[in-house]
Amino acid sequence: MKTPDTHAKFEETWESLAKIEREPEWFKDAKFGIYFHWGVYSVPAYGSEWYPRWMYAPGRKDWGGDIYEHHKKTFGPVSQFNYHDFIPMFTAENFDAKEWAELFKNSGAKFAGPVAQHHDGFAMWDSKLNPWNSKAMGPKKDILGDLFVELKRNNMKTIATFHHERLLQRYAQDTAKWAQNTPDPGDDSHFPYHPDYITSTTDPKLRLLYGNMPEGEFLDYWLNQVNEVVDNYAPDIIWFDSWLDRIPEKYRQKMVAHHFNMATSRGQHPIVAYKQEDLPANVGMLDIEQGGKTDLSQDYWLTDITLSNDSWCYINGQTYKQPSLVIRNMIDVWSKRGIVLLNISPMANGTINNEQRNILSTLGKWINKHKEAVYETRAYSIYGYGDANIEKGYFGGQSATISYSKNDIRFAVSKDKKYMYIYALGLPTPNAPLEIRTDIEQNVKRVSVVGSDAELKWSMAGKRLTIQTPEATAMDELATVFRVEFD
């Protein structure tokens, strides 16, 4: 690796940080990345990755409300069995960094990486700062480091996601927000506080896991862990979940400046991704959780979505989306200048089950067949049209699980503008005229189906193109892509 240039290029101000190449070419080309929620919370495999929070919250009727009783019944009361007691059960014996990297590459992803640290305070790298890490205990493996090595061998970019900004115990003095006093304990701390719980521990080591430390110490602990990953593993993207706005501005500026300076000194083109309004829009890359923009965006953006229908981490009885749903919603994102970050969920022993593997294989085959219409494409003047019922997402924009059909059309163009790609989000009617209901300004030379050399009959009426579709076997039931070549 190139020796870093210690001369700081970016200062710790938003004005200076806004000078970064915020939308690097590799990111525009990539279209698709994979990450995964995998950690100690994968051991109980129940409810969701928020198990470590809700196991300490009795009396809840809402989301996660059955976890407290489930934990008590299955593992014992929290006076006897705490979250850290799951760590020896997080074995990861089936984790194979080489095989995982190849799986991700074959699925069509151009970048990948783990949830480096979730809200639970357990680090998935060989940390010298956080004793609660996957190398020191549990798997006894440097999950992030081993995977990054293999991803880079496959010429893939890397991403590390951070969610630990809400680890700090912020409610020790606010009795109304304590667990047992309310079914909805203080939301800006992941582990509910109560003096009778381990979450109030002052043990020098345990308090680091449960976030019970002075705010100033926590902020340094938070920042230094992000910097440790940046320094030791050189991620191309660092990504932050909601609650980053709970970190004071000067710490956020330090974090971004360090990432930009280290990465650019290595010759990388780095990105920092954020949610809501947690970073300035001219510095970071906006991520919309489980959804997307409703129209063509002027800026590039990111969406993180699940392969599963419910939890982000593996849970018993987990169900998964149909490949057609995933692919069609991905195409919609791409047509609006979006990039997809797809989450998968390994089991605690490091198994990525066949249900997920089969979906990833289907994605990979579709993308490989249509790769000229996926990578290195750019948005058209409009994203498309159709009659799908557009549902609102929980985190802004539209849902990531919209049911599209052959009546929903999306567009893209090649970087050199020689080709236009028309995506039908369902199998078009075979041997029938398909009118493209938008103006095409360039002169059309020929029309064909991507994945086939056969030319199609077509006609122009003014600026409107009509394509004569081929036999069903010459198209793709997941999504058919027509290639329009211009003079």
Query: What are the residue ranges spanned by the domains of the chain?
Result: 14-43+90-168+213-373, 379-486
Residue 1 has pLDDT above 50, yes or no: no
d(CA 291, CA 142): 32
d(CA 39, CA 45): 10
pLDDT classification of 289: cutoffs 50, 70, 90:
very high
Residue type present at position 34: I
pLDDT score recorded for residue 102: 98
pLDDT score recorded for residue 328: 98
d(CA 332, CA 384): 9
Residue with tokens 């089950």: 353
Summarize the confidence of residues 36-64 as an average pLDDT: 97
Q: In this structure, are residues 113 and 35 in contact, taking their beta carbons and an 8 Å threshold?
A: yes
pLDDT score recorded for residue 145: 98
Contacting residues for 461 by C-beta, under 8 A, at least 6 apart = none
pLDDT tens-place string over residues 420-430: 999 999 999 99
In three-state secondary structure terms, 240 is strand
CATH 3.40.50.300 fits 14-43+90-168+213-373, yes or no: no
Its sign, for the CA torsion 342, 52, 242, 127, is negative
Class of domain 379-486: mainly beta
pLDDT score recorded for residue 395: 85
CB neighbourhood size of 197 (10 A): 19
Q: In this structure, are residues 14 and 324 in contact, taking their beta carbons and an 8 Å threshold?
A: no
d(CA 457, CA 480): 16
Do 14-43+90-168+213-373 and 379-486 show the same overall fold? no
DSSP assignments along 49-118, one per residue: TTHHHHTT-TT--STTTTHHHHHHHHT--TTT--GGGGGGG---TT--HHHHHHHHHHTT-SEEEEEEE-
Tell me the two tokens of residue 131: 């004793």
Summarize the confidence of residues 1-9 as an average pLDDT: 57
- Reported for 97-104, long-range contacts at CB under 8 A and 24+ positions apart, including other chains, are 97/143, 97/146, 97/147, 97/149, 97/150, 98/150, 100/147, 100/150, 100/352, 101/147, 101/150, 101/151, 101/153, 101/154, 101/156, 102/150, 102/154, 103/352, 103/357, 103/360, 104/34, 104/151, 104/156, 104/360
Residue 376 has pLDDT above 70, yes or no: yes
d(CA 256, CA 440): 42
- Roughly how many angstroms between the first and final C-alpha of the chain, as a whole number? 45
Residue with tokens 């211009």: 486
Residue type present at position 288: I
pLDDT score recorded for residue 2: 45
Residue 123 has pLDDT above 90, yes or no: yes
In three-state secondary structure terms, 359 is helix
Residue 461 has φ and ψ, to the nearest 5°, of -120, 100
Burial of 193 (0-12, 13-18, 19+ CB in 10 A): buried
pLDDT score recorded for residue 7: 61
Q: In this structure, are residues 379 and 28 in contact, taking their beta carbons and an 8 Å threshold?
A: no
Q: 180 in the Ramachandran plot: left (φ > 0), alpha (ψ -120 to 50) or beta?
A: left
E strand or H helix at 258: helix 249-265
pLDDT tens-place string over residues 142-169: 999 999 999 999 999 999 999 999 999 9
Summarize the confidence of residues 341-348 as an average pLDDT: 98
pTM as predicted? 0.97
Q: In this structure, are residues 436 and 458 in contact, taking their beta carbons and an 8 Å threshold?
A: no
Tell me the two tokens of residue 324: 């057609």
d(CA 143, CA 232): 13
Nearest-CA neighbor of 464 among 483, 441, 431, 481?
441
Residue 106 has pLDDT above 90, yes or no: yes
d(CA 154, CA 111): 10
pLDDT score recorded for residue 397: 87
Residue 4 has pLDDT above 70, yes or no: no
Summarize the confidence of residues 470-475 as an average pLDDT: 95
d(CA 67, CA 402): 30
Residue with tokens 């940080």: 17
